[in-house]
Amino acid sequence: MSYRLQFQQLKKERKQKKQVKKKKQSYMVYQQSQENNAGKVPGIGADSCGVTEPNFCDHSKFMELLTDEVQKECFRTFQEATSNRALAMSICVVCAREMMAYEGEKLFILSIPNIKQRLRLAIVHPSYDLWEEMLLVKHDIEGEGPSVLGWNCSTQTCNPHTP
């Protein structure tokens, strides 16, 4: 094998290693964000309603009733966590996944970076229902012109901050 071919092959291997390393780093960041957000549903949890963990060594408080204030706060927190607003579902206009509404946000569609380049199709099938030559979920798009709104999930594939 000539020197030039060896050099090109070495260059390809280095490039592949860099790509693998980059993917591993982005996956680690994704895993950390998932771990940080694990079990974090807004408004649900014993700490949010003022109930403390029982002290099993202190027998004097056995079967003690909660105060009215703590009980009302627990009911209020439970109602907020199970309300229609907290349990609302939305469909992402980019990836068409139905997710909890708090997992994304409403954005101006045309403000998402590179959206026209990413969602423009090279081959258009007649059955596709396109919006401004982009494949989007049209029934969840609100408004007209440049101020068009759509709900966008915050997953890695639909993140509006990725180039």
Of residues 23 and 116, more confidently modeled: 116
Q: Please state the pTM of the whole predicted model.
A: 0.52
Helix (H) or strand (E) segment spanning residue 43: none
pLDDT in tens, 76-105: 999 988 899 888 898 888 888 888 888 888
Burial 63-87 (b: 16+ CB within 10 A, else e): eeeeeeeeeebbeebeeebeeeebe
pLDDT in tens, 135-157: 888 888 888 877 888 888 876 66
Q: List the structure tokens of 163.
A: 């180039």
Q: List the structure tokens of 65.
A: 């009733």
Burial 21-51 (b: 16+ CB within 10 A, else e): eeeeeeeeeeeeeeeeeeeeeeebeeebbee
User: Which residue, 111, 92, 103, is CA-closest to 158?
Assistant: 92
Provide the pLDDT for residue 79: 92
Long-range CB contact pairs, 4-13, < 8 A, 24+: none
